[in-house]
Amino acid sequence: MKKSVLLLAAVFITAYVLFNILQDHTTNLSNAGESPNEKALAVIKDNGCMHCHSVSSEKPFYTSFPPVSYDVNNGIKAFNIDPAVEKLERGEPVSEAVLARIEFAVYHHRMPLTQYKAMHWGSAINDQEKTILLDWVKEARANDYGKNLAAESMKNEPVRPISNHFVLDSSIVALGYSLYHDKRLSANNTVSCATCHDLNKGGVDGLVVSKGIHNQDGGINAPTVFNSAFNIAQFWDGRAADLQEQAAGPPLDEKEMGNKNFDEIVNKLMQDDSLKAVFESLYNEGITKQTITHAIAEFEKTLITPNAPFDQYLMGEEQAITDTQKQGYVAFKNAGCASCHVGEAMGGQSFEFVGLNDDYYDDRGTDITPADHGRYKFTKEDHDKFLQKVPTLRNVALTAPYFHDASAETLKDAVVMMNKYQSDSRLSDEEIDLVVDFLSSLTGEYNGKPLNQL
C-alpha cells in the first residue's frame, strides 16, 4: 500500500513537472497587442503574478494547501494586483504606486518567488519581459504623470517634485480658510478643523489622538492636512472619496465636533449676516452642507508644500541636499520604501497591510481597536483587514507621533519599525540614520515660507 502511494505520488510529480516544462509561459505575450499596457499586462499574466497577488483570479488547486497557501495569503497582503490588472484591461492608467511596486520587483529580482519557480519551470521573468515592464513603467510615468518638474535625469524617479495642479477661486478659498478656523462648526463652539490640523504644527496636533468636543479622545492619530489633496482617498481607511466628502465627516462625529446634523451648523452660521452675505455672493444656494464643505475643500487644495530641499535636488540643484541625504535616498529606495511612498506627496496612493514581516499588533501588546482594522471598516472585505492608507512623507519631520496608532514617538522610531515590519531589505543601523537624515529634507514651503518657520 505504501509503495503504491509513493508510486502514485511520483507519477503525479513527474506529470506535473513535465507539464510545466512543456507549457508555454509566454502565451499572453505572444498574442498581445502592440501597446505598452497590453504587453505589460501579458507579462504579468504569463508569469503567475495572479496566482499569489489576486483575490479574484482562478488559482491552481494546490494553493489551498500549506505551505503554499501561506505564500499566497502573504502575496495578497503585500500587493493585491487586481485593481491594476482591471485598469490595464480597460486601457486606463495605473497608479504611481503600482508602477513603483512592479519596477522594484523587476530591478531587485523579487518575483516570482523561488518556491514558485521551482513548481512552475520557465516562469522566471526573462530579459525581454523585464525590458517590457521597465519600458512600460517609464512611459507610463511620462504619459500619465507628465506634469513633472524634475530635471531630465530625474524624471523616471518614483517620487516627483510638488507642483500646483489646482485652479481655484480665491474668494472661495478665503471663505474656506475662515470656515477651517471657525469653531462654530462644532456643537459647543470649541473645536475647529484647525484644532486637530494646526497649520503651524505641520498640519497635525502632535497628540496620540486628537481632543474633540468636551475634551473627548478620538480613535486615531490625526494625519496631516498638508498635501492631502494628492491622496487617492481621505482618512486612514479611505472612506471619503475626496476632500469635500472628508470635510463633512468630523462635524457629525460625536467625539470630534458633536453635531447631530448639518442643519444645526447651517442654522448657526445663518445668524451671521456678514458670513451669510459672503456665501450668497459665491453660491446661489447660500449656506448649505454642500457649500460649507466645498469651500473648506477648496481651501485645503491650497495646502501644498512645494520647494523642499529634496524637490530642489530633483529639479537639478545638486547642492540642495547633503551627501548623506543623497545616500539616505538611495537606501530609502533600496529598502523598497519608494514602492509605497511615491509621487508628489510620497504617499497617499495605496492601502498597505501593517505587519508584512512580523506581527505588528502582537508586538504592540495592546488590544486590536476598530481603527486598527483600517480599510476593512469601510469595505467589509476580509482582504482589506489591517490595511491603512500610506501616509505622505512630506514634512514628516514635523508630524510626530507616527502611524495610525501613534506608536512611533520619533522619526527614527518610525523608520526602525518600518524596517522591521514592512521592508524585506533590512537596513543597517547606519542606513537607518541615513534615511532619517534624508526624510528631514522633505520639509517644504507654505505661502513661500519653510513650514518649520511658520
Instruction: Give the Cβ contact number of residue 117 at 10 Å.
Output: 17
256 is catalytic: yes
Query: Could you tell me which of 162, 226, 144 has the C-alpha nearest to residue 193?
Result: 226
Three-state SS for 246-312 is HHCCHHHCCCCCCCCCHHHHHHHHCCCHHHHHHHHHHCCCCCCHHHHHHHHHHHHCCCCCCCCHHHH
Closest C-alpha to 395, from 335, 281, 284, 311: 311
Closest CA to 298 of 247, 235, 344: 247
Neighbours of 437 (CB within 10 A): 19
> Distance between CA 454 and CA 448 in Å, rounded?
10
Phi, psi of 389 (to 5 degrees): -65, 135
C-beta separation of 315 from 431 below 8 A: no
Helices (H), 79-155: 82-90, 96-107, 114-119, 127-144
Residue type, 99: L
Nearest Cα neighbor of 228 from 236, 218, 219 is 236
Choosing from 103, 129, 157, 256, the catalytic residue is: 256
Q: Which of helix, strand or coil describes residue 72?
A: helix
Instruction: Work out the burial of residue 46: count CB atoms within 10 Å of its CB; fewer than 13 is exposed, 13-18 middle, 19 or more buried.
Output: buried
As a residue count, the chain comes to: 454
In whole angstroms, give the CA distance from residue 247 to residue 319: 40
Q: Residues with catalytic annotation?
A: 256
